[in-house]
Amino acid sequence: MMEFRVKDLFQIDTLKQAFVVSGKQGLNNPIRGVTIIEAPDIAEWINGGELLLSSLYPLQSYNHSEQQDFMAQLSEKKVSALIIKTGRFVHDIPSGIIQASETHHLPVIQIPKEVPYREIMYPVMESLFNNQVIKLRYFKEVHDRFIALTLANKGSGNIINSLKRLIGNPVTLYDRNFCSISATDPHLVQYEVLEREEADAARIDTEFPYYRQRAIYPEWGGRTCDHFVIPVETVNHIKIHLVIHETCKTVEALDFVAIENAATSLSLELVKQYAVAEVEMKFKDDLIDDLLHAKIESLQSVYQRANLIGWDLNKTYVVVLFRLRSMDACNEKEMDLYGYHNPYHRMLHELIQQELPEGTIRNRSDQLIVLWNVESAHGDKLACVRTIKEAAKSIQQSICKRVQHLDLQVGIGNAAYEISELPRSYKEAQDALQLGTMIKGKSAIAAFSDLGIYRLLCQIEDADELAKFIPHSLKKLLAYKQPNREDLIKTLQTFLQHHQNAAKTAEDLYVHYKTVTYRIERIKEITGIDMDDPDEMLSVQVGLKILVLLGDRPLSL
């Protein structure tokens, strides 16, 4: 069923001899009502879409400029067309009306004085009434169809396939990032926007929000066509996007009856999915917490709980922690405050899911805990860690491209071959995260297996007890009160990292070779360290690593 438009007027017997004087560009204007002009201020009393009938009697005294202003007011109110009866009060249509008609694409149609208004109004009103009845019947049919799909739990794929059959054009459903959720024609999923039409230039008059674009489709042989994008708001102001591709026919106003009903069904479907996912997530989060903190009453109950959400606990998992940190210290508290509700955490969650579609993710405070399923952990532990690091690096790079003021830190535990080993892997991932940032900086991706002696030292949780392992010679350097103490400590650390090679130390510290040799001699004088004694040098190296672990904690020297 097509809308009744200005061009359809000429199918009415009494208007077959009517003449379009001007404004032919507006012959496709839809007609939604019909009325007679009885006063010059008619524009104040119309709603839009009306066909106006007039003898121009109220406008006889208007000059050229006033005639144009009058037509501009009608155009602003979206009047469909102006039918003028000549021969009684005016013999020729004024030039101001004709010029404005062309400017505003508002058709002016001339009829002779013998044609009664009722012989125009009655057929127009009959057509409008019939169209409205048909539209209401169509609305009920479409509404019932989509409600049935929603109640039958058929899913978004069935909803958009039903919409395609109703409107005769392919349909794709995208998430808020325009990643495809479901599509009737997969070759139309990928496209590049060539031109976007402004909202006020839309050709279909509807209160439903949408915009129109010209796009090119690479997987459709590089062909182009227009498509409509209909944003659909779901829970938490999250939007999905329903896209109608005009590959088969032009989208009509009546198609939007089906589109609006489909959008409502999709919104309900996604709200339902969200509610189910929320319950499943809470259930899964509680189970993960119990496993990571060894709160297991019986293995049977754990496996029963896992089976309810389709989670296979017989696989090998590595606990991986992801933590976002703001480079700006002022924003640090803000990052912690919002937790998962922070959009950056949602973005990180989505990036992890893209790398690990079947991964188990737990959102907690400022961290995302991932139980990373690894099949090759028994065969090649190094390859397993390397694979996780590469995926974490890819996620980190994606974060950096999108948000420049954030650091992503990653801690990786060892594989847990049984669920009873998950708490150990979790503790290792926590240590790797903490020590990795201390040793490698704020963007560290650290595995517990890479920590070396730190793995042993971090088991001593008492700071005072740990400080006892700092050798007496190193404590003398720490007690040195001169301003260059930090330079001396840094030089010693770098010197030992480069196996006591002064040239490489100078290169690493961007200082002269002689500066390094001078500082080393000064360190020997202060501490009495014998750098030729391997046991003493081992003690100093361990002491320096303990300093890293203790951070800014005060020491009793």
Query: Does residue 277 lie in a domain region?
Result: no
Query: Does residue 143 lie in a domain region?
Result: no
Condensed to tens digits (0 to 9), the pLDDT of residues 478-499 reads 888 888 888 888 888 888 888 8
Biggest alpha carbon distance in the chain?
Answer: 122
Q: Are residues 53 and 164 in the same domain?
A: no
Q: Are residues 364 and 418 in the same domain?
A: yes
In this structure, what CATH number is given to the domain that contains residue 483? 1.10.10.2840
Give 265's contacts (C-beta < 8 A, 6+ positions apart).
Answer: 146, 147, 149, 150, 159
Query: Does residue 289 lie in a domain region?
Result: no
Q: Which of 246, 272, 298 is the last residue of a domain?
A: 272
Q: Are residues 329 and 432 in the same domain?
A: yes
Q: Which of 69, 93, 127 is the last residue of a domain?
A: 127
Q: What domain count does the chain have?
A: 4
Please tell me the distance from the alpha carbon of residue 542 to that of residue 536, in angstroms, as a whole number: 10
Please tell me the distance from the alpha carbon of residue 27 to that of residue 8, in angstroms, as a whole number: 9
Query: Does residue 280 lie in a domain region?
Result: no
Q: Are residues 444 and 476 in the same domain?
A: no
Query: Does residue 346 lie in a domain region?
Result: yes
- Determine the structural domain holding residue 24 and report its residue range: 6-127
Q: Are residues 545 and 508 in the same domain?
A: yes
In this structure, what CATH number is given to the domain that contains residue 166? 3.30.450
Q: Are residues 121 and 225 in the same domain?
A: no
Q: Which of 247, 272, 297 is the last residue of a domain?
A: 272
Residue-wise burial string across 428-456, b where 16 or more C-beta atoms lie within 10 A, e elsewhere: bbbbbbbbbbbbeeebbbbbbbbbeebbe
Residue with tokens 């208004």: 117
Per-residue pLDDT of the chain (557 residues; tens, 9 = 90+): 467 888 988 888 888 778 899 999 999 898 888 888 877 777 777 877 889 998 888 888 889 998 999 999 899 888 999 999 887 778 889 999 999 999 999 999 998 888 888 888 888 888 887 777 766 777 787 888 888 877 777 788 888 998 998 889 999 999 888 888 889 999 999 999 998 876 544 556 566 688 889 999 999 999 999 999 988 877 666 678 999 999 998 888 778 888 888 888 888 887 777 777 677 778 888 888 888 888 887 888 888 888 877 788 888 899 999 998 876 644 544 444 344 456 788 888 888 888 887 778 888 777 899 999 887 555 566 788 888 999 999 998 888 888 878 889 999 999 898 888 999 999 989 888 888 877 777 888 988 887 777 666 666 666 666 777 788 888 888 888 888 888 888 888 888 888 888 899 899 888 898 998 998 888 888 888 888 888 788 778 777 777 776 765 555 55
Question: Which residue, among 272, 21, 4, has the nearest Cα to 125 in the 3D structure?
Answer: 4
In this structure, what CATH number is given to the domain that contains residue 385? 3.30.70.270
Residue-wise burial string across 166-187, b where 16 or more C-beta atoms lie within 10 A, e elsewhere: bbebbbbbbeeeeeebbbbbee
Q: Are residues 333 and 444 in the same domain?
A: yes
Residue with tokens 């070396």: 452
Q: Are residues 75 and 197 in the same domain?
A: no
Please tell me the distance from the alpha carbon of residue 173 to that of residue 179, in angstroms, as a whole number: 9
Query: Does residue 278 lie in a domain region?
Result: no
Query: Does residue 368 lie in a domain region?
Result: yes
Q: Are residues 323 and 451 in the same domain?
A: yes
* Helix/strand/coil for 408: strand
Query: Does residue 479 lie in a domain region?
Result: yes
Condensed to tens digits (0 to 9), the pLDDT of residues 186-200 reads 999 999 999 887 654
Please tell me the distance from the alpha carbon of residue 64 to that of residue 48, in angstroms, as a whole number: 24
Q: Are residues 336 and 452 in the same domain?
A: yes
Q: Are residues 452 and 467 in the same domain?
A: no
Residue with tokens 């996780």: 388
Mean pLDDT computed over every residue of the chain: 82
Give 27's contacts (C-beta < 8 A, 6+ positions apart).
Answer: 5, 6, 7, 20, 107
- What is the reported pTM? 0.48
In this structure, what CATH number is given to the domain that contains residue 41? 3.40.1390.20
Q: Are residues 469 and 445 in the same domain?
A: no
